[in-house]
Amino acid sequence: MTGLIDSHCHLDHFPDEAIPDLLDRAKQAGVEGMVTIGTRLSRAAQQKDLTRFDRPDLRVWCTVGTHPDHVDECTISDPADIVALADDPRVVGIGESGLDYFHGAPEVRPLQQARFRAHIAAARRMDLPLVIHARDADSDMAEILRDEIAAHGPFRFLLHCFASGPDLARTGLELGGYVSFSGILTFPRSEALRDIALSIPEDRLLVETDSPYLAPVPQRGKKNEPAFVAHTARRLAELREVPPERLAEVTTANFHRLFSRAS
């Protein structure tokens, strides 16, 4: 399988000296690009610096944002400050940002919601896609997405590493969003998620690793890396009964439509 994009990885979780070999393995697996995702706005400079590994045969882009698990560390709440950090050609999206009620204590939820709305405002102003993290927060996530679009207009977004329920998937699609699947799709107990993956329109579908986490079958137990996106893509192609080459073509076209600054 060739021409794949890993739409979500965390290169900052790998030693710098390991990244050239990691990129070589990704290229051998058919990957032609990857996005290293920001999890703390305070480390936006480091995310941008990782794009120095970009090369003609394998592109490396980045996003800037604060993950909901780190909102208590984030002093940036003004969308204009996020816009300033994202005003760089190396940055192709905002995020990841969103809601995580699995890790986040109830008293942190209002702060998560406020920071999420700030990221939405920045994404709208920049006309960049927002990479959304949602865990155990489907109802509030859907409510905020609907409210923001009703009040301020549409924005581009991706529900990354999708592992939520069918209602959030439907809401995301109705509001114009895209949905990305990770190695969770390959796990034996992910039948419900595979049913959702079948329901996603072809033109809204992406794949990712979320590496170094969630290594797909048959790499379970190993440290995940961008090369392993090929396993998730192959399982998704099998599930949707399309040739792997078609799945790669479609998801890469979708990536470039959504992440239009990536070139």
207-221 pLDDT, tens digit each: 999 999 999 999 999
**At 104, is the pLDDT very low, low, confident or very high (cuts 50, 70, 90)?**
confident
28 in Cβ contact with 58 (< 8 Å):
no
- Interval 91-114 mean pLDDT: 95
Whether the per-residue pLDDT at 187 is higher than 80: the answer is yes
- For 225, counting Cβ atoms within 10 Å of its Cβ (0-12 exposed, 13-18 middle, 19+ buried), the class is buried
Phi, psi of 31 (to 5 degrees): -85, 135
For residues 210 and 190, give the distance between their C-alpha atoms in angstroms, rounded to a whole number: 17
Whether the per-residue pLDDT at 1 is higher than 90: the answer is no
Whether the per-residue pLDDT at 5 is higher than 90: the answer is yes
β-partners of residue 135 are: 100
- Interval 130-142 mean pLDDT: 98
β-partners of residue 34 are: 6, 60
What pLDDT sits at residue 154? 96
Q: pLDDT averaged over the chain?
A: 97
Whether the per-residue pLDDT at 74 is higher than 90: the answer is no
Peptide bond into 212 cis (omega under 30): yes
Tokens 């579908």 sit on residue: 205
What pLDDT sits at residue 62? 98
Over residues 10-67, the pLDDT tens digits come to: 999 999 999 999 999 999 999 999 999 999 999 999 999 999 999 999 999 999 999 9
How would you write the chain as a 3-class SS string? Answer: CCCEEEEEECHHHCCHHHHHHHHHHHHHCCEEEEEECCCCHHHHHHHHHHHHHCECCEEEEEEECCCHHHHHHCCCCCHHHHHHHHCCCCEEEEEEEEEECCCCCHHHHHHHHHHHHHHHHHHHHHCCCEEEEEECCHHHHHHHHHHHHHHHCCCCEEECCCCCCHHHHHHHHHCCCEEEECHHHHCCCCHHHHHHHHHCCHHHEEECCCECCCCCCCCCCCCCCHHHHHHHHHHHHHHHCCCHHHHHHHHHHHHHHHCCCCC
**At 263, is the pLDDT very low, low, confident or very high (cuts 50, 70, 90)?**
confident
**Amino acid occupying residue 119:** H
Angle between helices 229-240 and 244-258 (to 10 degrees): 110
